[in-house]
Amino acid sequence: MIQNQNLTPQLTADGSFTFFSSEFGELFHSHFGAKQEAELKFVEPLQLRKKAETSSLCLLDICYGLGYNTAAALTTIWETNPHCKIKWVGLEFDQRIPQATLEFNLLNSYPDLIQDILKELAKNYTLKTQLLNADLMIADARSSIQSVCNSGFKVDAIFLDPFSPPHCPQLWTVEFLTLVAQCLKPQGQLATYSCAAAVRQALLEAGLKIGSTSPVGRRTPGTIASFDPEGLPPLSLQEQEHLQTRAAVPYRDPDLSDTAEVISLRRQAEQDISSLEPTSHWKKRWRSESIL
């Protein structure tokens, strides 16, 4: 039995379970529901049902965690096209998380085949079948993403699901997201739950176009990004103006090795000298319907 206060299952509103991380001070998923969040923040915005009509897909799951995003994706793809071949890479720092997910049987609402796949990945980190070639990389994602880029792996869809930018700025920097973007195919898409201006600006600096996805369990929308702007839901005027404030000063990590504290202090110093509009002014203008 894994004994760790971080890994006690917590029930969410849709009946699925998540964990609380004392290290980051956050749940792995919103109270709205871990399973529905995977569906509505990742599977649907990335149009995986439509993408599954092709003969093969490549997926990258950043911050694999409990495995809900991958479980939802594989289920959706093979329900749509049982013959679709999938190449998958997952990045995860803490191997205890997927292992504890199995221990508590948190993914039992998914088909047996999907559960078996995730069990194998949690135990051995790799799996090759007729339809799936999968590797779970256990390391700092800043290191893993460099290996993925160097391998030439190009994907149709990316799930970007770290803890929030204030708590885990390491995985929202311009440098990290530039490498993430390099893993996308020309028409590939990235989805994340975050609408933070700093995150969106980093995605723009990585060369991507961005759009807004529907709120799930909270007032704030998510973000979808691609090199190809066709079909991306447009940002509202409020969101566009947010990108012209000091909130849009992105996190930076030049050597992909700094601590969260150093990264946050660097951003604060850049904000202090920025000529952009103070974010408080933007908030005041949009107080009645602020997205923050």
Q: Find all residues with CB under 8 Å of 205, minimum gap 6, and list them.
A: 174, 177, 178, 250
Query: Are the beta carbons of 42 and 159 closer than 8 angstroms?
Result: yes
Provide the sign of the torsion angle of the four alpha carbons 218, 18, 161, 231, taken in this order.
Answer: negative
Query: Are the beta carbons of 74 and 86 closer than 8 angstroms?
Result: yes
What confidence score (pLDDT) does residue 287 get?
A: 80
What confidence score (pLDDT) does residue 8 get?
A: 73
Q: How confident is the model at residue 266 (pLDDT cuts 50, 70, 90)?
A: very high
CA distance 271 to 150: 33
What confidence score (pLDDT) does residue 290 get?
A: 47
14-49 pLDDT, tens digit per residue, is 666 666 666 656 556 565 656 788 888 899 999 999
With a cut of 50, say whether residue 120 has pLDDT above it.
yes
- 202's tokens: 């980093």
Cβ count within 10 A of residue 109: 14
What confidence score (pLDDT) does residue 202 get?
A: 98
What confidence score (pLDDT) does residue 22 get?
A: 63
Which CATH class name applies to 31-238?
Answer: alpha beta
Cβ count within 10 A of residue 6: 16
With a cut of 80, say whether residue 217 has pLDDT above it.
no
Can you tell me the mean pLDDT for 207-227?
A: 89
Q: What is the percent of the chain where pLDDT is above 70?
A: 87
94 compared with 268, residue with greater pLDDT: 268
Which phi-psi region, left, alpha or beta, contains residue 159 (left: φ > 0; alpha: ψ -120 to 50)?
beta
Query: Are the beta carbons of 93 and 102 closer than 8 angstroms?
Result: no
Cβ count within 10 A of residue 50: 9
CA distance 286 to 6: 37
One-letter identity of residue 205: E
Cβ count within 10 A of residue 231: 11
> Which residue, among 183, 180, 193, has the nearest Cα to 223 in the 3D structure?
193
CA distance 202 to 263: 14
CA distance 103 to 82: 28
Can you tell me the mean pLDDT for 102-109?
A: 84
What confidence score (pLDDT) does residue 37 get?
A: 84
With a cut of 50, say whether residue 281 has pLDDT above it.
yes
DSSP character at residue 236? P
What confidence score (pLDDT) does residue 101 get?
A: 82
What confidence score (pLDDT) does residue 99 get?
A: 87
CA distance 66 to 256: 25
- Cα separations in angstroms, 142 against 60, 90, 125, 196: 14, 13, 18, 20
Domain layout of the chain by residue ranges: 31-238
Average pLDDT score, the chain = 90
50-61 pLDDT, tens digit per residue, is 999 999 999 999
169-205 pLDDT, tens digit per residue, is 999 999 999 999 999 999 999 999 999 999 999 999 9
131-146 pLDDT, tens digit per residue, is 999 999 999 999 999 9
108 compared with 62, residue with greater pLDDT: 62
